[in-house]
Amino acid sequence: MLPLGATAGGLNFMEVFVQQVINGITIGSLYGLIAIGYTMVFGIIGMVNFAHGDVFMVSAFFALIFLLLLTSWFGIASMTLALILVMVVSMVLTGLLVWAIERIAYAPLRGSFRLAPLISAIGMSIVLSNFIQVAQGPRNKPIPPVTRDVYTLWEGANGYPVNLSLKQIIIWVVTALLLAAFWYVVQKTALGRAQRACEQDRKMASLLGVNVDRTISLTFVIGAALAAVAGTLFLMYYGVVVFSDGFTPGVKAFTAAVLGGIGSLPGAVLGGLLIGLIETLWGQYVSADYQNVAAFSILVVVLIFMPQGLLGRPEVEKV
Amino acid sequence: MNSAVKPSDKAAPDFGRALKDGVIIAIIAFALLGPLVGLKTDQNMANELILQNHLGLAAILSAVVGVGRFLLSAFVYPRIAARGNRSKAAATLAELEARARVTRGLSITGLIFLFVYPILIISLFGVQGSIKWVDNYGVQILIYVMLGWGLNIVIGLAGLLDLGYVAFYAVGAYSYALLAINFHLSFWVLLPVAGILAAFWGIILGFPVLRLRGDYLAIVTLAFGEIIRLVLINWKDFSGGSAGISSIPKVTMFGIYSFDVSAPNNFAKVFHLAASSAYYKVFLYYLILLLALLTAFITIRLRRLPIGRAWEALREDEVACRSLGINTTNTKLTAFAIGAMFGGFAGSFFAARQGFVSPESFIFMESAVIVAIVVLGGMGSMIGVALAAVAMVGGTELLRELDFLQVVFGKGFNPDQYRMLIFGLAMVGIMVWKPRGFVSARQPTAFLFKRKTVSGDLVKEGHG
């Protein structure tokens, strides 16, 4: 994650800071979208879905392939239409992929010993990234910029501009809309109720007629669909994707989930935004080289000193 | 489109269901493989991305998946169901004893085989031809066996999931590389130093994180592993950055014979042998074999000491341990430090063998591979870990040999690129098939009256 607009200067302190905050919120939104997948799965079956970062990467590839398909084969000229179609297709296919992964690699291990699903997920993560490397080639996949529109908010001394690009606005708006829709699903629909019930007490929920297996599968699928949105937006924002892109955003999103309090949905979004902000500001003011070190250090510090996170419930040790 | 390939003429009722399964799975597979395999993104002359049409290949692959699912549903699942409710956990004592006897026999034959392996290879392939088999297979696998046994102390005995083990491997490798180059110290001096430094780092990293449990511990150790790697990349004055450190001195045969071509006491020269790197490889082979056996020996002895018993007790029930007065922090720290120490030994050996270290060798994937070896081997079982290392590392290494497949799949087919893909699939497959690993029988060191073998299902995995 490169710091964007990294012309530091004491002269334009305010401008640089605001610019970095804008960039940070943008990246943070993506982390938040991915983090929801981690936090929901952890909440419902207590498993760190290690392959989630790679699912995000695969979704970016789905988006890439369908964008090319729509623009070059079907000749759709309208970028807006293409983007919307691509996002929907990517969500559906990623959901399907994760449904298949869950059936193959995780569902048989339910009720097995605790490390089994984690190991299986690590294996899945290796499978996904190497599968993409083999199937799509190891090189960077650049696309032409979807839009170049940039709005200058104001200019500081020496004409240093504070920019807000259309891409960033798209990311903010899409993230906000998606989160609202997601919130509605979790709070108001039967599926969301079943999900929350399973999270609290799986055995009791199944006694009351909730199809626990199906609910868990759908939890995975919903998390994957949100990761697919993040993947599409990631591709649009950076204009490039490569098979190894899953690991680092995956770990950062997991950090976000932990920071916000694992199991807590608003926490995941809050954590994502915080991680995005900390990362960009660290890159701007401390050291761009050690940007990822900062993100990993936050993870360590948070886990050691406040493992329940910002909005999470403290874990009670049961004998 | 895929239904055409199905043997649709079989109309028996349970085949009908299997057929339906197969068709549905084939359609799902095509929906996923169609874009990912069927439409390959590639760059054209103008550096623009274009799509290449491989939809035929995707269709074939989906059909294979569908047929596979059909066969599973039609033949394999009914058989598993027919085998009845004989639970996997409830293997009888006699069976377990027999399995343990096989394991013991296997380890003795294995040990003898390991010692004669280089001699066998040299007599089969000649001195020069032996290099590949001794180095790529022998030394490579034994490094992973040693790492697996080292990590086995942490995961298998103490029940702490460490996803950053490669950090200690890196500490060992860089300790040897830097100290040997800057201070011209010999491998034999630096081997213990590297181990001590790695153990020291184990304590430093372990101290704050060992309060954490299970998955959290795993993620924190992962983060530490990545932090160490990123620091090695970015602190260029210290570690040479991502360019790494090259021309690391070779191991000498206890200072008596050297393996440097220019040295007067060169091994081949002294014995008037034809110059070849094979002697060094054979020497390295026995060195890593002895190091690995040292790890195994110490682990076996430690299991019978109070500290080893405390580790296993900790793995079974941390709360009970604490209430019995075991200092859980110290117990965990020793496991972490001793595991790290063996990682450090292996690391310094690795640096000496390669002659070159760079952060690229210490990526997370290495940690994942080592964890996979330990878990797939059946956590806590020494022979299982060794078998898993042979299967996973040797098996994937074998893929490099499959050049004849080019005849089948056409020129440019490189089986090597499927190495990690197959590794990952094997990891998932073995987990689903045998969550307890290859060797799931255990022999507790503390027993009443008579030593008994128990099933691995009775062994807990610890809370971290």
Is the CB of residue B111 less than 8 Å away from at least one CB of chain A? no
What is the average pLDDT value for chain B, to the nearest integer?
A: 80
Distance from CA of B396 to the nearest CA of A (A): 14
Test mutation, A39, A119, A232, A306, chain B, max B CBs within 10 A: A119
Q: What is the pLDDT of residue B3?
A: 43
Q: What is the distance between the alpha carbons of residues B347 and A91, in angstroms, rounded to a whole number?
A: 43
Q: What is the ipTM of this complex?
A: 0.84
Q: Which domains does chain B have, with CATH numbers?
A: 3-82 (no CATH), 93-458 (1.10.3470)
Q: Nearest chain B Cα to A63, which residue?
A: B35
The partner residue sitting opposite A69, judged by closest CB among B39, B223, B376, is B39
Q: Which residues from B are below 8 Å from A254, CB to CB?
A: 219
Q: What is the pLDDT of residue A2?
A: 42
Is the CB of residue B88 less than 8 Å away from at least one CB of chain A? no
Per-10-residue mean pLDDT of chain A, 319 residues long, equals 47 81 91 90 84 93 88 76 89 93 88 80 91 86 80 76 86 90 88 86 85 89 92 90 87 88 85 91 83 84 80 62
Distances (CA, A) of B260 to A247, B255, B313, B356: 41, 12, 49, 15
Q: Nearest chain A Cα to B212, which residue?
A: A304
B28, A105: Cβ pair inside 8 Å?
no
Q: What is the pLDDT of residue A151?
A: 82
Placement of tokens 């009670």 in the chain: A316
Interface of B with A in 302-341 (CB under 8 A): 319
Question: B182-192 pLDDT, tens per residue?
Answer: 888 888 888 99
Give every CB contact of residue B29 below 8 A, 6+ residues apart in sequence: B61, B62, B65, B66
Q: Which residues from B are below 8 Å from A113, CB to CB?
A: 435-436, 460-461
SS (H, E, C) chain A: CCCCCCCCCCCCHHHHHHHHHHHHHHHHHHHHHHHHHHHHHHHHHCCCCCCHHHHHHHHHHHHHHHHHHHHHHCCCCCHHHHHHHHHHHHHHHHHHHHHHHHHHHHHHHCCCCCHHHHHHHHHHHHHHHHHHHHHHCCCCEECCCCCCCEEEEEECHHHCEEEEEHHHHHHHHHHHHHHHHHHHHHHHCHHHHHHHHHHHCHHHHHHCCCCHHHHHHHHHHHHHHHHHHHHHHHHHHHCEECHHHHHHHHHHHHHHHHHHCCCCHHHHHHHHHHHHHHHHHHHHHCCCCCHHHHHHHHHHHHHHHCCCCCCCCCCCCCC
Q: What is the pLDDT of residue B406?
A: 66
Q: What is the pLDDT of residue A227?
A: 93
Q: Nearest chain B Cα to A262, which residue?
A: B216
Distance from CA of A116 to the nearest CA of B (A): 6
The partner residue sitting opposite B461, judged by closest CB among A66, A113, A296, is A113
Q: Which residues from B are below 8 Å from A68, CB to CB?
A: 39, 41, 49-51
B424, A123: Cβ pair inside 8 Å?
yes
A293, B230: Cβ pair inside 8 Å?
yes
pTM of the model: 0.84
Q: Which helix (H) or strand (E) element contains residue B199?
A: helix B187-209
Q: What is the pLDDT of residue A230?
A: 93
The partner residue sitting opposite B368, judged by closest CB among A115, A126, A317, is A126
Q: What is the pLDDT of residue B463?
A: 45
Question: B237-279 pLDDT, tens per residue?
Answer: 888 878 888 888 888 777 677 777 677 777 777 776 776 777 8
B417, A134: Cβ pair inside 8 Å?
yes
Q: What is the pLDDT of residue A14?
A: 81
Q: Are A16 and A2 in contact (CB under 8 A)?
A: no
Q: Nearest chain B Cα to A145, which residue?
A: B48
Q: Which residues from B are below 8 Å from A126, CB to CB?
A: 365, 368, 420-421, 423-424, 427
The segments of chain B whose pLDDT lies below 50 read 1-12, 89, 463-464
